Every structure is written in C-alpha cells, then in structure tokens.
Structure 1
Amino acid sequence: MRTDDALAAVYQHYLTMEPYSQQDEHTYQLSDKVGSGNIKRVTTYSGIEILFSQVEYHQPFPTYFASETPIVELQFALSGERHVDISGQDYSLSKGQGALIFMQDFEAWFHPPAKELYTSFSLGIPISLFNYAAAQLSTMNSIRFKQVLGDQVFKPIVFQLDSRIQCMINNLIAALNNNDRSCLLMEAAALEILNRFMIQLFDLAPIPAGFSREDIRKLYLAREIMEASMVDPPSLLCLSKQVGLNDFKLKKGFKALFGSTVFEYLRQVRLNHAMKLLLNQGNNVTEAAVTVGYNNISAFSQQFHRKFGVKPSDVKKIY
C-alpha cells in the first residue's frame, strides 16, 4: 500500500470508530448519545488530509487508537483542550497553540474535554510528501521523517499561532464547509502552511549576505506584523522601529528573503485573502476590498485583475 493510501486508511479508521459515524463523503458525526458536533474531512490529490473538528461531549469519553503507520500531522488548537496519552507520554495543546507531530508504532488514549466546545484543525501529511519537501528545502538529512523521529514513537514540536496562519486556517475551514469548494486551492493553501512551518521550525530560511540569524528572525517578525495589520499597516519607518532593524536593512533583507518589497508583499497578501473571501465566504467585491484594506474599489479591481487575470466580479462565475 502506498504511504498516502495508508495515511488515508488510518484517518478513515479513526473517524469511523465509536462514537463517530460517517454521514457523507466529507462529514463524520459525533453520536447524539455522547455529544454534538462533527468532523469535516477532505483528502487532496497529493494525499494531504485536511480536517476540522468542532465537537462537545456530554461526559468524559476516552477513546483508544493504535497504528503502526508513520504519521506527520500539523495540529492547531482553536478552542478547548484535549489531553492525549501517547505510548505513556502526556500531550496536550492549549487554545492558540499548534504542533508539528511525528509518530509511528504508537498507542494513544484520547481524552476530549467534557461540557466544553473543542475545536481543532489539522493537516495530515504523507511521509513521501514531507520527505520531498524536506529535500527541496535543505540538503540536511536530519529533517527527514526517520531522522526527526529517531528511536521515539512520538515527537511534537509545539509553536504559537500567528494571525496570518489563523487567517489561512479560517479560509480552509470556510472551504471545508462550502459545497462549492475548490480542492485544488485548498491543497495549495495546505502546502503553503506546511512550507511555512518547515522553514520556521527547522530554521531553514536562507541567510542573505550581510545578515545574521537574529536579523532573519526580525525580518520574519516584520512579515508577521504586515500580515496581521493588512487593513491598517505601519509605515516602513514605524515597522523598522517595531522590529529593531534600520529601514535600509529592512528593505534590503525583506526583498532578499521574501522576493518582493514590503508593500508589494502586503499587496499580494491582500489580494490572496480577497480571492478567498470571494470564493469561500460569499463576499461581494466591495466587501472583499474593504475587508483587506482597500478604500478605492477601482484600484482594487485593477490590481486583482492584474494578479489573477480575472475581474473580482467574475470570480464566482468562473470558479
């Protein structure tokens, strides 16, 4: 069995265990006897498992699951806190935390919270895809699956969610709940999230000449600030003060690291988010433009058409 087929089989088995049952191709319902809510699931062409869980249990309901299949998963805790005992290791994520986890040959007891809404989002990554991405990002063998996991059965790398990732997750959740979803766009977004965290967690960002590792950290912070404040962004001078880099180094380093100027990058973030609003959340052109920070609708439409080759008013007709 191919690794991505094996991964799909693991998820299918887990999602159809008591107290869940499959309602349709993408929905797994929690039994009314146990609680309320469901899990939405889409499997992409490359085998990425995209899942959104929103459930509330009436009483504690621990469940057992075991698998020999190697698994890489990006997990994001959005509300509530679930505790898991994985082969004797206690693991949990609080709201606003995420983790890149590696596991194989494991046994787990899942302890979801009772009488509290538990919401989570996750991306299951085929091992072949993870190793391919690792090879593209670095020549170091140390970030391949076997080398990361070593002789352990479970290894989590925990991080805090930033506003940009939260926005990308929200767009994927909206797509999961939309019957007119574009699985190709969902896969692209999932791959972007994976790429971001592999670079961030394994410290793989290239270092331009004349810059230190600390400078790179500040440049990533600058990017996060611009993404979080796309409606009302700081000036270049204010941004340089916020991150602790002079404006010359900020401009030069940002272009070298991310391939565009600070405000060119901001424009791309705005337009990409506007496209997702038009596709998945039913916003009209004016609503999408204002939401991402445009006051001039004509300028928004021109820039949107220049980037995507389609007028924003025609997005729904084409996609």
Structure 2
Amino acid sequence: MPFELKNNIDSKVLFSGHYTTADYENKTANDTSMDGVFNIPLPSGNLKAQQWFVNGVRLMYSEYELNSYTEFEWKGDLELITMYFNLKGKFSLASPGAAKIIELGNNEHNLFYGKEAEGIIKVEELKMKSFMIQFTRDSFFNIARDGNDALKRFADNIVNGKLVALSETNLNIDIAIQSCLRAILECRYTESLKRIFYYSKAIELLVLQAGAFDNSKINHTRYLKSDYDKERILFARDYILDKLETPPTLMELARIAGINEFKLKKGFKEVFGTTVFGYLNEIKMELAKNDLLEKRKNATEIAFELGFSSVQHFSNAFKKKFGVSPNQAWKVA
C-alpha cells in the first residue's frame, strides 16, 4: 500500500507515494532519483516539500500555506521511526491504538514510533514549517545501539511493538538544532557529497535530540509557566531576527514582547539554550559564513549589514567562532 494523504472532508486523494523499505535502504550516494521538490495543491491552500533519501533515511522539509484550518487522512504501511521538528505553527495527529493524540507546537520536536500507519492530521495554523527525518527499523537500530540509555529504551519499545515517543512532553528546538537544520537546507556540496552530508546531519540531529531529552530530565527551574509565556519568547526571537542590523536592548525587547526583562532572559535560555545576544551572534555568524562561502558579500559589506561597530570587530568575532578570518573563508570558497 502506498503512502496516501487524503482530504478528510471528501476523502479525495491529495498525494500518493509508492515508497518501500527498499527505496529507503537502496539510496546510494549517487542515486537522486527520488529526491527533489514537489507541490501538493490542497483544498484550502498548498503544501510545498523537498525530500532526500540516503542509507535507510528520508529527510523532508515542508511548508504549508493555507486559507483555513485543515484536516487530512493519512495511511501507509512502512514501519518507520520519525524525528519531527515543528519550526512554525501547530498540528496534531491522532492514530488508532495510540494512547493519546500527538501534538506539536511552534518550535517543538520529538521522536516517534508506531506500527499503525494511519490517522488524522489536524493543521491548526495557516502557515506551517516543519522538518522530518524518518529511519527504517534497521537503520535506526544500527545507530541507536551505540546511543544513550534513552535511545536504547526507545529501541526496546520498538522491538516490543509499543507506540512510543522519546519524551512525554515535547522538547524545545534550541540553537544547536536550528543550526543543524539550517545547514541541511543551505547545503552547498555537489550531489554525491550531499548524500554523505545529509546522512551525517541526520545522525547529528538524533544525537542532539537524545541529548536534549537527557538535559530535560535535569531538575532545571522552569520560568515559562504558560503557552502565552512561550509565545512571547518566540515572538522576541522573531523580532530580533528582523532587526539584525539594529537589535533592541533587552529592556526594549521585553517591552515589545510584552514580558518582563527577567522572564525574557531566563525564558529565552530555557527555550533556545543560550542568551538573547548569544543567539543573535550565532545567527549573525552563520549568515556571514554563508555569504562569504557563496561570495555574495565581502567582509566590509557583511560587517555593515549585520550591525558590527567596525570591520575589525566583525573579523575578530568571526575568527573566534570559526577559527579563520573572513578573508580566509572568502579565499577558500
């Protein structure tokens, strides 16, 4: 049976993919026959996705643009382990036999396994962005057997046929995971090297996810007590990304986000694993690196556009982050 996505109102088939376990397992470094971008017209909008297959792993980035909230039926017969990173929006998935409905909010991730490959997907916001990585059973076991206790327990549940999530509560997508996802989407290697790169990043994301789970079990003080508090932190993140050249002070950002400065500082680190300005600097450095490697801009242009006080200030920050100067990065690109 192929994977099918149907409109939940009239059961019209919106997408059908005839994938088999062999399709996952047989994708070699030079085989790109099933990779690519595709668009799925929906009754209430559009779904655009890009996918890659390699060594028992499927990676897929999706963007939904809808004009009304939507429900889909989905079915498939493959036994897969899925890492899901919800970058924007909110959705839920109800499956037969599942103890509870799977829900993922804005900036949340988790790892899932279930043998019942069918259910109802409910998209609860008009714009959504997500990244999904699926492992075949064998490919996951090959990796997880050398993992931490959490991954080994997860693998044991798969052996016993149990529907399971890595974490009972969803985990926050921190700056390390964001950087890894961005590296996949902005990959500049040739086709043969891309496959190796994607596979390495899939493993890295599994490591980061398992590490995030371990970290969540440490008795940290929780400063964000409600969904509203978390929404304000995500709003603050989006705001500073729009103001990279002239970011606000913490006091200004707290006022704009509608949250007190103490909760902004503590809550931001709780969600993203770093401070507001640590996050801002990480994003600036990644943007600068990509511009230099693609030769889109030189060091002077980047320093000005990203709001550094001088080219020297930018050069020092870049070298501290990457171990080479901007000019050296430009030359080796």
TM-score by length of 1: 0.58
2:61 equivalent in structure 1: 52
State the 1:128 CA deviation: 4.5
Checking the alignment, whether the CA contact within 8 Å between 1:43 and 1:49 is kept in structure 2 is yes
1:119 equivalent in structure 2: 129
Counterpart Cα distance in 2 of 1:189 and 1:293: 31
Checking the alignment, whether the CA contact within 8 Å between 2:59 and 2:133 is kept in structure 1 is yes
Does the C-alpha gap of structure 1 residues 141 and 304 become closer, same or farther in structure 2, counting only changes over 3 Å? closer
State the 1:279 CA deviation: 4.8
Counterpart Cα distance in 1 of 2:177 and 2:311: 26
Counterpart Cα distance in 2 of 1:47 and 1:287: 42
Counterpart Cα distance in 1 of 2:124 and 2:173: 27
1:200 equivalent in structure 2: 212
Counterpart check, 1:285 vs 2:280: no
Name stretches of at least 5 consecutive residues in structure 1 with no aligned partner. 1-9, 206-212, 219-227, 235-241, 244-265
- Give the secondary structure class of the aligned counterpart of 1:152: coil
Which one of 6, 11, 19 corresponds to residue 14 of structure 2? 19
Counterpart Cα distance in 2 of 1:106 and 1:71: 12
**Alignment-mate amino acid for residue 20 of structure 1:** F
Counterpart Cα distance in 1 of 2:204 and 2:314: 24
Where in structure 2 are the equivalents of 1:82-101 lying within 5 Å?
Answer: 82-89=91-98, 90-101=101-112
Alignment coverage as a number of residue pairs: 265
State the 1:108 CA deviation: 1.7
Checking the alignment, whether the CA contact within 8 Å between 1:76 and 1:99 is kept in structure 2 is no
TM-score by length of 2: 0.56
**Alignment-mate amino acid for residue 198 of structure 1:** A
**Alignment-mate amino acid for residue 111 of structure 2:** L
- What do the CA deviations read for 1:156-197 (whole angstroms, capped 9, x no partner)? 524242441463266247427x89897355554443332121
- What do the CA deviations read for 1:201-259 (whole angstroms, capped 9, x no partner)? 14699xxxxxxx65xx69xxxxxxxxx99x9999xxxxxxx88xxxxxxxxxxxxxxxx
Counterpart Cα distance in 1 of 2:285 and 2:97: 46
- Give the secondary structure class of the aligned counterpart of 1:145: helix
Checking the alignment, whether the CA contact within 8 Å between 1:28 and 1:39 is kept in structure 2 is yes
1:36 equivalent in structure 2: 46
State the 1:54 CA deviation: 0.9
State the 1:315 CA deviation: 4.8
2:113 equivalent in structure 1: 102
Checking the alignment, whether the CA contact within 8 Å between 1:131 and 1:144 is kept in structure 2 is no
1:258 equivalent in structure 2: none
Query: Relative to structure 2, which stretch is displaced further, 68-77 or 140-149?
Result: 140-149
Does the C-alpha gap of structure 1 residues 36 and 189 become closer, same or farther in structure 2, counting only changes over 3 Å? same
Counterpart check, 1:175 vs 2:179: no
Query: Relative to structure 2, which stretch is displaced further, 189-198 or 14-23?
Result: 14-23
1:66 equivalent in structure 2: 76
Does the C-alpha gap of structure 1 residues 147 and 204 become closer, same or farther in structure 2, counting only changes over 3 Å? farther
Counterpart Cα distance in 1 of 2:118 and 2:206: 24
**Alignment-mate amino acid for residue 82 of structure 1:** F
Query: Relative to structure 2, which stretch is displaced further, 267-276 or 193-202?
Result: 267-276
Counterpart Cα distance in 2 of 1:29 and 1:96: 24
Checking the alignment, whether the CA contact within 8 Å between 2:315 and 2:326 is kept in structure 1 is yes
- What do the CA deviations read for 1:258-313 (whole angstroms, capped 9, x no partner)? xxxxxxxx999975664345457955434655788864534654775687686535
Does the C-alpha gap of structure 1 residues 102 and 274 become closer, same or farther in structure 2, counting only changes over 3 Å? farther
Identity %: 14
Checking the alignment, whether the CA contact within 8 Å between 1:56 and 1:117 is kept in structure 2 is yes
- Give the secondary structure class of the aligned counterpart of 2:162: coil
Name stretches of at least 5 consecutive residues in structure 2 with no aligned partner. 7-12, 18-32, 222-236, 251-264, 267-279
Q: How large is the Cα RMSD of the aligned pairs?
A: 5.2
